Amino acid sequence: MLAGEVYDATADALVQELNAMKDLVWEYNRLRPSQMAERTALLKKMLGRCDDDTFIVQPFYCDYGKQIRLGKRFFANFGWTVLDEAFVTIGDDCFIGPNVSIYTACHPIDPVERNTRQEYAKPVTIGDNVWIGGSATILPGVSIGDNVTIGAGSVVTKDVESNTVVAGNPAKIIRRIQPSNEKK
C-alpha cells in the first residue's frame, strides 16, 4: 500500500488496522474540548508525527493515522478528513480550514476492476506556511510548495508551486506572492 502498488483494501490485516484507528478517532471526537492534555496525548498515539502544539478541532477523521506526519504549530479546524493510505506529510506552521479533505486512496476507473476492491495510493506532501481554505480538497499524489494559500472550496488536482495563491476547480494559480521575510 505504502509503495504505491495495487492492494486488496479488504485484506483482514488492513481492516483490523482501520477498525483499531476508527476506535481511537471515535474516542478523540468524544473528548471534551477542554480536555487538552488528553487530546494531545491521543493525537500522539494516533498520528505518525505531531507535537505538543498540534491542534485539531473535533471532529477529525482519518483511516490509518500513522501515515499522517505533521510539522510544528499545526492547526486544523472542524471536519478535517484524511484518507491516509499513503503518507500525508505537512510542514511547519500550516493552517487547515473547516471541512478540508486530503485523499491518497485511488480506485480503478473501470467498474469491474473497481468492484474487486483493489486500490492503490499516492502520497500528498504539503510544505511550510500553507493555508488551505475551508472545504478544499487535495487529491492523491499532489505536492504543495511553501508559502501557499489555497482558496476555499478549491479542488487541487496537480502540484502547486511555492509562493502562490491557487483557487478554483481545478485549482489554478491566481496570484504569485513574495513572503514578507523575503521582501527588500
Asked whether residue 184 carries a pLDDT value surpassing 60, the answer given is: no
Q: Provide the CATH number for the domain around residue 162.
A: 2.160.10.10
Is 125 within 8 Å of 107 (Cβ atoms)?
Answer: no
> From the CB of residue 7, how many other CB atoms can be counted at a distance below 10 Å?
17
Q: Is residue 183 part of a domain?
A: no
For 121, residues 6+ apart whose C-beta sits below 8 A from its C-beta are 1, 2, 4, 85, 86, 104, 105, 106, 140
Per the structure, the count of domains in the chain is 1
Catalytic residue positions? 107
Residues in Cβ contact with 64 at an 8 Å cutoff, skipping those fewer than 6 apart: 17, 18, 21, 84, 85
Residue 59: per-residue pLDDT: 98
At residue 183, the pLDDT reads: 56
Residue 85 is part of which domain span? 7-178
CA distance 24 to 18: 10
- Mean pLDDT taken over the chain: 96
Query: Is 151 a residue whose pLDDT tops 90?
Result: yes
Residue type, 122: K
What would the mean pLDDT of 152-163 be, rounded to a whole number? 98
In this predicted structure, what is the pLDDT of residue 180? 81
In a domain, 144, yes or no: yes
Q: What pTM, to 2 d.p., does this model score?
A: 0.94
- Considering the domain boundaries, does residue 45 fall inside one? yes
